[in-house]
Amino acid sequence: SAVISQKPSRDICQRGTSLTIQCQVDSQVTMMFWYRQQPGQSLTLIATANQGSEATYESGFVIDKFPISRPNLTFSTLTVSNMSPEDSSIYLCSVVPQEIDTQYFGPGTRLTVL
């Protein structure tokens, strides 16, 4: 597997502001993903973070709202822009280690927007 950390673990933000979430892995990985989990719900994939190029977004998610960076094989950021209370969720990153066809998840970031 891989050791994955996320910062911050939780935050409370004001409407209209932005928050950047970091995901760090202890080894080089093939793939990195970002998910949103709304209260009491399953996980929804936001995008695939591509190393050195623009992320690939799922239907319903756009780059202006959720810009993603992945400058190398072990690090990625997700920004939640111009936040509204509807953005209150848990945001999780996941990784697929090299030569292992399995996703492993970070500890998640609990975001509350007031």
Partner 1 sequence: AQTVTQSQPEMSVQEAETVTLSCTYDTSESNYYLFWYKQPPSRQMILVIRQEAYKQQNATENRFSVNFQKAAKSFSLKISDSQLGDTAMYFCAFMKHGGSNYKLTFGKGTLLTVNP
What span, in angstroms and rounded, lies between the C-alpha atoms of 67 and 90? 17
Nearest to 27 by CA among 74, 71, 72: 74
Of 34-63, which residues contact partner 1 (CB under 8 A)? 41-43, 45, 48
Among 21, 55, 80, 92, binds partner 1 (CB under 8 A): 92
Of residues 89, 63, 68, the one with CA closest to residue 78: 68
Residue closer to partner 1, measured from CB, 10 or 15: 10
102 binds partner 1 (CB under 8 A): yes
Q: Which residue shows structure tokens 């997700």?
A: 78
107 touches 8 (CB < 8 A):
no
> Which among 14-22, 27-35, 71-79, 80-88 is the span making contact with partner 1, rule CB under 8 A?
27-35
Q: Which residues form the interface with partner 1 (CB under 8 A)? A: 1, 30-31, 33, 41-43, 45, 48, 90, 92, 94, 96, 101-108, 110
